[in-house]
Amino acid sequence: MPRQRRADEAGATYHAWNCGNGRQTLFHKPDDYEAFIRVLGEGLARYPVSLFSFTLMPSHWHLVLRPAETGGMGRLLRWVTATHTLRHHAQHDQMGEGHLYQARFKSFPVADDDHFLVVCRYVERNPLRAGLVRRSEAWQYGSLWRWLQKAEPEPRLLSPWPIARTPGWVERVNQPLTEQELAAVRTSVQRGRPFGPEAWVQEVATRTGLRHTLRSRGRPRKSAK
């Protein structure tokens, strides 16, 4: 079966994510998280991509980013996942023991308006939603903690946002998304559907070959005879 098309346009914003093969744990201890952060930093130095928000979770990761060149997101994340896999197996003495990731990364386009803020809240709130911390900013393996430091720790990963944060951003992240917001983000996660105002969604889906993401999953209805 051919792979479905994935948008990767210069200057567009995307939410990208990947998870361990069979949902296996990617990060067992602090050293594992730090090793991935180093790989990510090396990748961002190699490829012209801006990283706005991210969170590393035990079995998966989320990134909100923008490639400066068409195809740049794919080049960055293929290098990151391949390099991370090699180093992870070497570090854990697992050379030749199979895939670390379940598949290639998934993504969807995000509009640079309030929808961008919703996606960043979703990403930065992940550790709190999973019960890993009591406050989102306490999770050291994500962008919210990094933004709050006087100087971003090395390697420096983060770029200025395309729009301003909502006032009281930390408190906003610690508040649950509405049911409507969460359902909309999850639909985009599951289908790869562009996330933004409806007219924008239709235009982006048509231009980038993502019309299939707008249809409900399941078999098409048979026409009545």
Whole-number pLDDT of residue 223? 41
Which of 33-37, 80-84, 96-100 has the weakest average pLDDT?
96-100
More confident residue, 224 or 203: 203
161-208 pLDDT, tens digit per residue, is: 999 999 999 999 999 999 999 999 999 999 999 999 999 999 999 999
- CATH annotation of 13-198: 3.30.70.1290
**E-assigned strand segments in the chain:** 13-19, 49-56, 60-67, 106-110
Specify the pTM: 0.92
pLDDT at 106 over 60: yes
What local confidence, expressed as pLDDT, does residue 1 receive? Answer: 37
- The residue whose two tokens read 């490829």 is 47
Nearest Cα neighbor of 118 from 178, 199, 68 is 178
Whether 116 shows a pLDDT value over 80: the answer reads yes
Instruction: Determine contact, residues 76/16, Cβ cutoff 8 Å.
Output: no
Read off the pLDDT of each residue in 16-40 and give the average, rounded to a whole number.
93
What does the pLDDT look like over 48-65, one tens digit per residue? 999 999 999 999 999 999
pLDDT at 35 over 50: yes
Q: Which amino acid, residue 65?
A: L
- pLDDT of the residue at 96: 53
CB atoms within 10 A of CB 87: 15
